[in-house]
Structure 1
Amino acid sequence: MVLSLLGILASVLAAPAGADTRRTPAECAATLDCTAADIDLMTMAERLEFVRAMQEGPGAQLGVTDRWRNIEGVITFFRDHRLGAPGTWVSYVDAGIVEGIERGIAIALGRSDDGFGNPGSATWATYITGVAEGTWATRGAHDRAWSEAEQASTEHGVAVAESHGQYATGVEQRFYQFSETYRWALRNRPFALDLLAVYGWLIHPDLAGARVPFYDWFTDVRESAPSIKGCEMAYGFAQLHPIAGVLGAAGLFLAYVTELFDEYQAR
């Protein structure tokens, strides 16, 4: 009888009612095995901590200490604008991206081959291994590999959201178009630079001549400032005046460049 009472007491003390069972950013960065469902429960501030911890911890072993600064910028924007509460479309999509990075690092480190059903995991692992081995000899090759990995994990995040009955609102869908344009720019460096050479003077008299440093700034995954500025601009467009009459990624790219170049010059 006494032993039974002690057992009950021990179980109550071990798992108090209302205990927070969510996994912490530090734990997830150390184990690299938190699922998208775990990440969905995190606040944006916690996800920011998680992404930074992955880069500074296990990522450092592979030379990727700064390869997701732009994603830090997006998460910072979500945090500052109170977007992406757990269980929302934004949260699930972001969780899919972060999970892909996490599992990509785990696979690249040789800890596991399990991508947790996220197609981006293996693609991120290929990208990370390429960075570690010096495979990406040019900026264009590097950016394409990064973009393809984020595209795969982003699309998985969208699928996860929809599996939970969460679909993008009109504003969210227009904002999402900006992320698609960003990934398009990463994959199409020569073509995008040609567009700026031909049409840049119509946007700003200095753009054509400054197209390479501007483009490098806009697409630098190791910087958070351009993504924060880009998110601010894209969300403003999405809320107030969606871009009408613009077709294709190239057209959207030129439309966004108008605002982005001003930010570039003012930095």
Structure 2
Amino acid sequence: MLVRRRTTALLSALAVLLAGLAVPAAADVRRTPADCAAALDCTAADIDLMTMAERLELVRGMQAGPAAALGATDRWRNIEGVITFFRDHSLGPSGSWVSYVDAGIVEGIERGIAIALGWSSDTFGNPGSALWASYLTRLSTGALGTRSAHDRAWSEAEQASTEHGDALAAAHGQHATPVEWRFYQFSEVYRWALRNRPVVLDLLAVYGPLIHPALARLRVPFYDWFTDVSRSAPSYKGCEMAYGFAQLHPIAGVVGVAGLFLAYVAELFDEYLVDTSD
């Protein structure tokens, strides 16, 4: 009887051990970029576990894969530029404020594509998902024919996803450092510029000559370069500039987002001239 009890206990322990080996805990399962791009069902928690290089692969995979059916093969190249900047500067490790904010943005895009394609109606609790779905649906049907209408819809979706990522970070006890928050303000300037084309062009017409002799004359192509979501170079260079400023100190004497935009324009315009010189 004693031998039988010991044998039964040993077999039970062995069964538990084998079960643990056969079925890994959910927290240990890391989704691959290719898997997420194909299935469009990875959560912000899944994305937070990815490196920035993996997220770059995911965004590119979504554009080349399922988003292509919606005519969105290059609608997040500017986000590629931001993620590439994070990768190159070793920013945004898993569990950090930068990582959670970025994960919220990428999750919103992913779920927006899935909803627009009719694969699912689940937003994963991300307010940006429905806005991205609306943007993609209108994009695919030609309802965003003007640059102003397109950029406004894009920026509203990205704004909601970004704010969700910030809330997600706060829920995990992560908050921006002063440098990160000043850097974040540059992204706010970018989204504001997307939503306010006439205002920005008017500002450049008035203040452009004070910043650079050619700026007023080139304000439209400059604005279109800066806000072009299908290009990664402006966002990457803008991130380098903004992060450099953020590490030094706040920009003194600036009032409001329009003032912040003008404070960045001199550097941005120089980058524009270099990038378009060919």
TM-score normalised to structure 1 length: 0.95
Distance, in Å, in 1 between the alignment partners of 2:138 and 2:256 is 30
Question: Cα distance, 1:11 vs. partner?
Answer: 4.0
Supply the AA of the counterpart residue of 1:165.
Answer: G
* Cα distance in 1, alignment partners of residues 89 and 271 from structure 2: 20
Deviation at 1:86, TM superposition (A): 0.5
1:237 to 245, 263, 275: 245
Moved more, 244-253 or 19-28: 19-28
Equivalences for 1:1-267 in 2 at 5 Å? 11=19, 14-15=22-23, 21-267=29-275
- CA apart distance, 1:99: 0.3
Deviations, residues 14-69 of structure 1 (Å, cap 9, x unaligned): 3579x952000001111101000100000000000000000000001111000000
Post-superposition, which runs of at least 4 consecutive aligned residues in structure 1 deviate over 2 A? 3-17
Question: Partners in 1 of 2:255 and 2:215 — Cα distance?
Answer: 22
Summarize the Cα distance change of 1:155–1:5 in structure 2 as closer, same or farther, 3 Å threshold: closer
Distance in 2 (CA, whole Å) between partners of 1:136 and 1:13 is: 51
Q: Which amino acid aligns with 1:103?
A: R
Letter in 1 for 2:59: V
Deviation of residue 238 (structure 1)? 0.2
**Counterparts in 2 of 1:117 and 1:12: CA distance versus 1, 3 Å:** closer
CA distance in 2, matches of 1:22, 1:249: 39
Structure label with greater radius of gyration = 2
Cα distance in structure 1, aligned partners of 2:169 and 2:24 = 31
Structure 1 residues 12 and 158: alpha-carbon distance in aligned structure 2, compared to 1, 3 A threshold: closer
| Whole-angstrom distance in 2 between the partners of 1:147 and 1:81 | 25
Amino acid at match of 2:191: R
- Following superposition, the deviation at residue 102 of structure 1 comes to 0.2
Query: What is the rounded CA distance, in whole Å, between the counterparts of 2:23 and 2:132 in structure 1?
Result: 37
Report the alpha carbon displacement of residue 7 of structure 1 after superposing the two structures with TM: 6.1
CA distance in 1, matches of 2:213, 2:49: 47
Quick one: distance in 2 between partners of 1:221 and 1:67?
Answer: 6
Cα distance in 2, alignment partners of residues 143 and 45 from structure 1: 27
- The one-letter amino acid of 1:140's match is S
1:228-259 CA-partner distances (Å, limit 9, x unpaired): 00000000000013211101111011111110
Letter in 2 for 1:37: A
* In 2: Cα distance, 1:176 partner to 1:130 partner: 28
CA shift, 1:8, in A, is: 6.5
Distance 1:160 1:12 in 2: 30
Q: Any stretches of 5+ residues in structure 1 without a counterpart?
A: none
